[in-house]
Amino acid sequence: MKIQVITLFPEMFEGVLGSSMLWKAQDKKLVEYKLINLRDFGLGPRKIVDDTPYGGGDGMLLKPEPLVAAIEAAKSSVVGNKSSVILMTPRGKKYTQAKAREFAKLENLILICGRYEGYDERITKFVDEQISIGDYVLTGGELPAMILLDSVTRLVPGVLGGDTSAEKESFSDGSSILEHPHYTRPEVFRGMKVPGVLLSGNHAAIETWRKQNSKKS
């Protein structure tokens, strides 16, 4: 899978892409990430990417020409046609685990991080989906894009090993299981005991307890 991110702040992604599971996913060649600097598509010698809104109002908007040029460059670099262009915006559809599973099946994702007060509405014609990570407004789409790419990457087959496989988490009805609580040593911590059944060695009873203490979402 290839995930391309169009952003004015590619350096924000360095820590996330260079750590832990996302780094391993790249190392194992299961996922390829590419950061596209929107500034490279800016207009004129000053590489302008934003402008004031028609009709007046506060703040600046992302101009359509650089964004659409960046989307077209991202699209032209992919093989296969199973791709989706996703705009991160608080006005989008609420992101869920079911959506993450849908995205994980695609060969190519192109994520667009909005900035400033917003973007020229005409860019939405070049976008397949608009996604919000929740009903709150961030300063840009970078953190939402990181959340999306983290949640999608862990669902790509082979990224998580063995028992922790993502399949275990999902039901055929599209809902998802939120795992039961976990405990490790010591058996008693500040007066709190590990549930006895987990120490019983009775695998059937442990499985029943785990099911009963899992949540469906």
- The contact set with ligand ADE (CB under 6 A) reads 88-90, 114, 132-134, 136-138, 141, 144
Nearer to ligand ADE, 116 or 183 (CB): 116
- The distance of closest approach from Cβ of residue 120 to ligand ADE in the complex, given in angstroms and rounded to an integer, is 16
Nearer to ligand ADE, 119 or 209 (CB): 119
- The distance of closest approach from Cβ of residue 27 to ligand ADE in the complex, given in angstroms and rounded to an integer, is 28
Nearer to ligand ADE, 54 or 136 (CB): 136
- The distance of closest approach from Cβ of residue 75 to ligand ADE in the complex, given in angstroms and rounded to an integer, is 21
- The distance of closest approach from Cβ of residue 144 to ligand ADE in the complex, given in angstroms and rounded to an integer, is 4
Nearer to ligand ADE, 42 or 114 (CB): 114
Nearer to ligand ADE, 30 or 138 (CB): 138
Neighbours of 21 (CB within 10 A): 13
Cα–Cα distance for residue pair 53/125, rounded to 1 Å: 19
Q: Is the dihedral of CA 120, 121, 127, 131 positive or negative?
A: positive
Please say whether the beta carbons of 195 and 183 come within 8 A: yes
Enumerate long-range contacts of 69-75, CB under 8 Å, 24 or more apart: 69/41, 70/6, 70/36, 70/38, 70/40, 70/41, 70/112, 71/6, 71/110, 71/112, 71/123, 71/126, 71/127, 73/36, 73/41, 74/4, 74/6, 74/34, 74/36, 74/110, 75/110
- The distance of closest approach from Cβ of residue 192 to ligand ADE in the complex, given in angstroms and rounded to an integer, is 36
